[in-house]
Every structure is written in structure tokens, then in C-alpha cells.
Chain A
């Protein structure tokens, strides 16, 4: 039987947009559902807005695929609020995220080399 940790990250690519964005949101540390939603929306300038159903549907899938795990709750509930569930990347999730980012990078390079996108070399300036 194959172990999740031994799977090749490439076998999960390409990722769906919600899965990719959730992985990205968790890249710099554990977060709860609403924090993930906020970060994704802010980082995409509002272009990617996930509702709670899409968010937890993806989270369920990602838990099963071994991309994320539920983290130990680190914060005390705020004045009597229910305890929130936090999620964090697994090692496998991190590798899948890297593989997907690399795949997208290759595509961008291809588009640049075909002059579909302008290149942004070191002299380009931002």
C-alpha cells in the first residue's frame, strides 16, 4: 500500500483554484477558515471569493488527500465564542504547493519566451 508521504506531488497537479489558494494561504502558518477566506480574497484583489461551502468542501478533500491537517488550537476562544478549527500544511502539502508553483512558473516562462507575455528581467524594475 502506498503511503501518502511517498506519493509524487506531481500526481495531484494541476490543482483546482480553491485548493491552490488555500495551500498558499496556509504557506506562512496555520489559519482558521475565515482567515483563509479573507487572505485569499485580499491577495487576489477580490477576484477569488470562496463561500463557506466551497471552502469546507475543499478543506474536506485536502484533509483526505493529506495536504493539510487540523492544527492544535493555539488561541483561547475569544469571550465565549466557539473554538475555531485551525489548519496547517503537511510536508506533502508543501511539496504539492511547490510543484504547482513550479508548474505555473514554467508556463509563465513559456509564455514569455513566445512573447505572449512581456518578460520582467532584472532590468525591468517594478
Chain B
């Protein structure tokens, strides 16, 4: 076979691509640059042979996006490596580096004393794959489901599974968008399950769930909320509620009709106006910096309704995460355990052991 007619253009494209490789850190370029150029010329040849000029235009389009994205990632790695830490450390130490501190995580859920099943669910993910951790951070989710015939169990399980899966698979530009989209995807799944039941003549069928999700990434906390599960942060001895409930009583507090303390005992306490399982859901997002020494608490209403903020603060402040979740749950059960109760406690500690 003679050389393909586009040889001149191909040569030019290859030279241009080699120039673009200058966008990468030198060490990466030296290691993989020639392989990448080889792959580029293979892709170029195939694109132009199969689709002509249009194929080449598409290829360049993809390649530009690829260079920008992957060069940014390589520089991020490069600077982390230069920050004087050992890149070859395994497991927990890697994640400490990406997050810039260490996380001690404990989680627990309990059916309580009055309910037949536990419709709460929870998940804590600290990815050990370095790249994933760098890109997405650590994720914590708590959900409180409801529905007839144990479907609350299904709803909360769908929620945590989908949020977890979708969050780490999504490729939106930033963490808030990824988190928001993940929750919307979980909502969509539950909504479709509801619709399927309705279509099959089960018109009364209705399941749903609350959801709070928190991401820790590079000294920032991103908290998303639907319903009345909560995220709190303990900072220098003060416990603060980060998320705002979507409940009737929360609105009444806003309007000054009742005090925050009255929320816990109000007769309409469990009426919420936003939840997963509906056609369209709006996700509230709260972003704030976190520091070493801060502690995160995620919980369902089975906990915060029974314990005053001050009692939760005292427990979290004076015990480690594992003991904290045990004591929090034990206190809720002691107080009657009328509802399922769930807590995740995450302590942010300095990196060195």
C-alpha cells in the first residue's frame, strides 16, 4: 500500500500534538509522551481513513478536551508529590494525603424499640483508590425511608446505594454538581419504582426517603439535604446544624411561630415537605471549610428529636467516633427509642499518626 494521501496533514497534526504535550509535567511527558504521540497518530490515521476530514475534526475536538483534563490532573498529582510527602505510602496514608488530614469514621444504626423494621440506612465511603479519592473525596450518606409493607427499607437502601454509585461515577465539573446529580438520580429511581407500581394498578403505593449526604474533599465540607435528617459540625466546642430541615416545624421556626426547642415536641414534627421519590426534587447544598479537630455528625430524626443539641455535643466532644455513635444510639434507645435511629461520626485529625 502507498502512503495515505493525507500524509502532510497528518505530519502537521502530529507536530501540533507533540507541542500540546508540553502542557504536561515533564516527568509524565518523558515517561509517556512518545507512547501518547504514537496512540495519537494511530487514532488520526483511523479517523481520517474512516471518516475523512470530519473524522479528523472530531478527533481534534476529543483530543483537546483530553489534553486539558488530563494535564490538569497530572499537574495536581505533580504538586501533591512535590509537597514533600511520600507518594508510595499505601492505604490510609494515601487518603490522608489527598484529603490533607486523617478521618476516623464510625457508623451505627438501630431499629429502636417500637418499630418492626429498620427503615434507616447509611453508608460511609473513603475510597482507597488514590485517583478517585483525589477527585471525589470521602462520602457519607444517611437516609430515612418510608412506605407500606417494608418499602421504607427498600427506599432508603435505594437511596444510599444510588447516591454512592452515582456520586463516584458521575463526571460533572465539580463536587457540588456531582453530589446534586447523584441525589437526583436516586430520586429518579425511587420515583420510577413508584410510577411502575401505579401503572400496575397499585394506585396507593408510595415510598420515599429523606437523604443527607456529606462529602469531605480538600478541607471542604459539602452537605446536601432533602427532608429532616441532619448534618452537624462540632467546631471548637460548638455544635452547629449545617443543613436546614424541609419540615413544617422548621418553617414555623423561621416565621417565629415556635422556638427551635419546641420543634422536638411539636405534634406536627414529622411532617416534611421535601423527600426523594417524587417527579422533580430540589437539592439544598451547604459548603463550608473544615479544620483539623472538627467532628462531623450525620443523623436521622430518630436521634436528634430525642437528644438536645447540648447532649449530642457533650457525647461527641468527649468520646472518640466509635464510642460516640454507641453512646448516641444508646441514649436514643434509653429515651424510649420510638423511631429507627442512625448516626455517622467522622473526626478530622492531623495526618501524622
- Chain A residues in contact with chain B, CB under 8 A? 1-2, 4, 7, 11-17, 19, 33-34, 37-38, 49-61, 64-65, 82, 84-85, 107, 110, 114-116
On chain B, which size bracket covers the interface?
35 or more
Q: Give chain A residues whose Cβ lies under 8 Å from the Cβ of B37.
A: 52
Cα separation A12 to B168 with both chains bound (whole Å): 12
User: A116–B189 contact, CB under 8 A?
Assistant: yes
User: B90–A7 contact, CB under 8 A?
Assistant: yes
Q: Give chain A residues whose Cβ lies under 8 Å from the Cβ of B28.
A: 56-57, 60
Q: Give chain A residues whose Cβ lies under 8 Å from the Cβ of B65.
A: 51
Cα separation A42 to B88 with both chains bound (whole Å): 34
User: A2–B91 contact, CB under 8 A?
Assistant: yes
Q: Give chain A residues whose Cβ lies under 8 Å from the Cβ of B196.
A: 115
Considering the complex, give the chain B residue whose CB is closest to the CB of A2: B90
Taking the closest CB of chain A, its distance from the CB of B80, in whole angstroms, is 13
Given A12-B128, A14-B132, A60-B32, verify A84-B158 contact (CB < 8 Å).
no
Q: Give chain A residues whose Cβ lies under 8 Å from the Cβ of B69.
A: 53-54
Q: Give chain B residues whose Cβ lies under 8 Å from the Cβ of A54.
A: 66, 69-70
Cα separation A61 to B128 with both chains bound (whole Å): 12
User: A110–B74 contact, CB under 8 A?
Assistant: no
| B128 in complex: contacting residue of A11, A82, A84, A115, CB < 8 Å | A11
Taking the closest CB of chain A, its distance from the CB of B184, in whole angstroms, is 16
User: A37–B39 contact, CB under 8 A?
Assistant: yes
Question: Does B62 sit at the interface, judged by CB under 8 A?
Answer: yes
* 79-126 of chain B: CB within 8 A of chain A: 87-88, 90-91
Q: Give chain A residues whose Cβ lies under 8 Å from the Cβ of B135.
A: 16
Q: Give chain B residues whose Cβ lies under 8 Å from the Cβ of A11.
A: 91, 128
Cα separation A4 to B71 with both chains bound (whole Å): 28
User: B38–A53 contact, CB under 8 A?
Assistant: no
Question: Does B338 sit at the interface, judged by CB under 8 A?
Answer: no
Cα separation A19 to B132 with both chains bound (whole Å): 10
Given A52-B39, A54-B70, A116-B192, verify A110-B161 contact (CB < 8 Å).
yes
User: B189–A61 contact, CB under 8 A?
Assistant: no
| B39 in complex: contacting residue of A1, A34, A58, A61, CB < 8 Å | A34
Question: Does B31 sit at the interface, judged by CB under 8 A?
Answer: yes
